[in-house]
Structure 1
Amino acid sequence: MNAANVFDSKALLATLPQRPGVYRMLDGAGKVIYVGKARKLKHRVSSYFTRTMHDAKTRAMLAQVHDVQITLTHTEAEALLLENNLIKELRPRYNVLLRDDKSYPYIFLSKQQHFPRLAFHRGPRKPPGRYFGPFPSAGAVRQTLNHLKKVFPLRQCRDSFFNNRSRPCLQYQIKRCTAPCVGYISEEAYAVDVRHVELFLEGHRNQVIDELVQRMEGASEALEYEQAARLRDRISALRRIQERQYVAGARGDVDVIACLAHSELICIQVFMIRDGRNLGNQTFFPRIPEGTSEAEALYAFIARHYLGRDIPMELLVSHDFEDRALLEEALARDAGHRVRIQWRLRGERRRWLEMAASNARHALTAQIATRAGMERRFEELQLALDLDGMPERIECFDISHTQGEATVASCVVFNRAGPLKSDYRRFNVAGIERGDDYAALRQALERRYTRLKRGEAPIPDILLIDGGRGQLKQAQIVLRELQVEDVQLIGIAKGPRRRAGEETLFIAGRPGVLQLAPDSPALHLLQHVRDEAHRFAITGHRVRRGRKRTTSMLEEIPGLGPKRRQSLLKQLGGLHGVRRAGIEDLARVPGISQALAERIYQTLHG
């Protein structure tokens, strides 16, 4: 049915002015199904009813239109702002909608107490203190807070908890807090950590590291070796955080936005770069009407996502779109400073955009695969194992070594969305007889589940062990000793010919064995988890085994004498830190020139 047959479109068009404004299309029940803005309302709205060629999305929308309402504005930029607000409020079905419409999260450092608190914050910035950010997601804030409390153990508890303690809490026991609540640290010593946190979050990381290096050397000279070791670990942890966040050539505040579509899904990837630091990225899967192009989705995303928030000076985008200049004007008005949207990029900035596009492609592929198969695999696993409920979390352990050398145990985690890589863990196994896989497995399980008992992560529903009855027995012993209950233990062993599809399952508490069909989705899930644990273990083993080789390679680099080698190892936190460092990280070490940094990097990475 044509919309002109539902209501008198000619009468409507005759009353429309050639002025900026917003139009709302309503269905028969009076519900707004689409909101749009126009520089000239008469021209834009009439295009719906006078043209005969429309895409499928527009035809479907027009078939439901019973009325059109308008609101006049002074400028097109004002119309864009009003359109954005109406879409957020009314959520029309034919507009691009974002599920995540929250404000950006921040790290908050309170200032009014004697012992300031470091915490996650979202919402109005009213409490007195300092706010660092914004960050792209709550996960990015919590990850940064987790790193910080390992290096600078400031309290993160609320005042109501802090003011009523008579003894230290678990955070003190696991060395994530210095227990100021019961006077275990002075205000002066605590203030030093507060100052370092502020410098770190302001971007003065090298200054913090230099001060810690001086304190470490002073402690070493004073024969305070335990304090020196703690400071060394702090320096190493800070270097690792800096490696993850540094972006070569970045200046100022920039967001990099890539949009990619496949079938009925659109993925938008946003990387936030602030003062040369990559604060992380966030992935969006906006709800889109059928037939929406990537450029249209990108325009709608920027308008919905940024208006009313903290807006950076530049947005680097993967597609050009109509009304780019108008959107820049609206964003600048909202932000109070000039905002540029650029899409013709060269050099380093083009690499950033390619990085964002690559992440969008990966996220979209993963989302499609997850939607299609992961849920079904978990359902099939529940049926195959005859479980009372569908498992939510699976952990798997594997051991890797070369004839007993450099033994590493891996722990990988899957949930119903797939691999949960942030929860992966590796364990460097020591103090056992070479090649004793049982002892290695016991040690890794004890370390992992002791931490889980402390609340580091949730207890899994299924614990998968790569091995047969012997390995399963070791896991049963450890869990019984640690009083970990309600975990389904499974051993997965390869068949005599070690071919995929011939695996045998040993299930704790059940006699006999279980063999699933080669095409079983449940078996495919277990194979996927096991293979990921195997990959993760081998990678860790190879890194550990290569450290000795790295030492000798450093000694062979021309121009890198003992003094510079020592400075390099101190600043980067040991051999592993040197191997992981990029050229820019190496060149920031005192005494290491750009040319020498390039030579070191080429030597270590071939």
Structure 2
Amino acid sequence: MNADRVRERAGSLPREPGVYQFRAEETTLYVGKAVDLRNRVRSYADPRSARIRRMVKRADGIEIAVTDTETQALLLEANLIKRHQPRYNVRLKDDKSYPMVQLTAHEAPQIEITRDPDSEAQRDSDGAATVFGPYTNKGQVETVVKALRETYGIRGCSDHKYAGRDRPCLDYEMGLCTAPCTREIDLESYAEDVTAVKRFLEGETGILADPLRREMEAAAQNQQFERAANCRDRLETVEAFHGAGGEAVQSVGDERSVDVLGVAIEGEDATVARLRAERGKLVNRDRHTLEAPSADTARTGYDADGGVSAVLAAFIVQYYAERDLPDALLLPERHGDDEVEAWLEAEGISVRVPGAGREAKLVELALKNARRNVGGRDECGLLADALELESARRIEGFDVSHAQGTAAVGSDVTFVEGSAEKSDYRRKKLTDQNDDYDNMRALLGWRARRAVEGRDDRPDPDLLVIDGGEGQLAAAREALAEVGWDVPAIALAKAEERVITPNRQFSWPSDAPHLHLLQRVRDEAHRFAVQYHQTIRDEVTTVLDDVPGVGPETRKRLLGRFGSVENVREASLEDLQSVTGVGERTAETIKSRL
């Protein structure tokens, strides 16, 4: 849109509060709120920032929604930003992209790591699970959850596996579960252990750290140094899990809950760290990532030097629009948004920017937590920039595996924000053929059809990564074009680690973070494909099934050792006898039968 079209459209708008959207075809580019829609939209005829000028030029229309009050406009803006994720807004990413720890609503609760907790699990109430997080370091969460299970024996199995058992499973033998399913522990005692786990996740580090420290010291005294070192490493992870800062929060008046916010910005990425205190005690810490493009500095105050205020304003509205507000907010600086200030004041929320004392120390702690996370996911941004993509947050990797055309399979792995999302892994049996290009074409055609027909419950990825070279990439793109699934695809050739795109090839430095991300995706796709191929291969009937003395396990070991029936046939008696379970007589029988 040019300046004349913007003025023409603005002239037809009411002078009332509301929300406006700049649109390009079916895409929302920008959402804004206004006390006076006509005046606000007219200002875009001469925007003050280059980025907003590009946005206006790209837009082909403006949609509005009139509201009764400025507060309604504020909350509607937040909801539309979360729904449409417009490119030119400061926007809060969905918490569900981060792992959380959930204790299920069950007579014997299960502990699990999830990115999609029960819909009613945000509060601890009858019939609802209890959820802690979100957390940004999945590896740390996995270490802590395993330590909790080893210490308190909380089950990790599904409710389906829990029901109807008549004897404990392997987790009981390994010391990971106290087996409430068969009442090896009574439910009352189990509930006490669950309470201890909750206390740790709420912030009482000593609940888990103290037993680990005692175990470490005992192992060292018994000269079990490897075990002591393992305990030491887990203890360090546990003690770092909640971070520093266990001091109480000094409440004012009747304040029961206080949230402390810290902000760190690097480029177009921002992190808001939130500390939650209830009745003077820190009970939760979490971090949230926002995409913070340099917007209209006249309205938001966001620019390269002063973006904290805009990030705070965007976060407060988008985060608390769907959650209960605390009694007080402690901020590192003023957010500078009059509408946000009016909303918080109408809700009776005390907003403070402490300059000294205990509250100031807590704000500094929140800032340290934010700085620890900001830029931690830069490899996705670097990859997107290098490939000239809008985003590389969600990536799917593909590979095929077969043995000279038999037991052909394909893998489809998913990475979100640089971390493996194993719940979104998929695998596919393929028609047996000794042609990697056709196999890749079939695999990508299968994925594309499921996406286009709405049969895949996963969101479309930002990028597809093919394990292979130009031939594999060409086959994959042919399948995508045939089905009509418009998703960027590249290949990563293992020999020289060349990144191959439809238009050019890249040889990035070996220490480039975005190359490391592609390598992780490629290697995981390869591992997952090979693993599935071995499973399928072991299920295939072979002539070994007819050899007396060779059962399923021995057959599996033979194929694992030699790779194929042909190689088993060519093996010597001595080589055959090197396989566990194959004696002299069985080896001679194998040689004579094959």
Scaled by the length of structure 2, the TM-score of the pair is 0.50
Scaled by the length of structure 1, the TM-score of the pair is 0.49
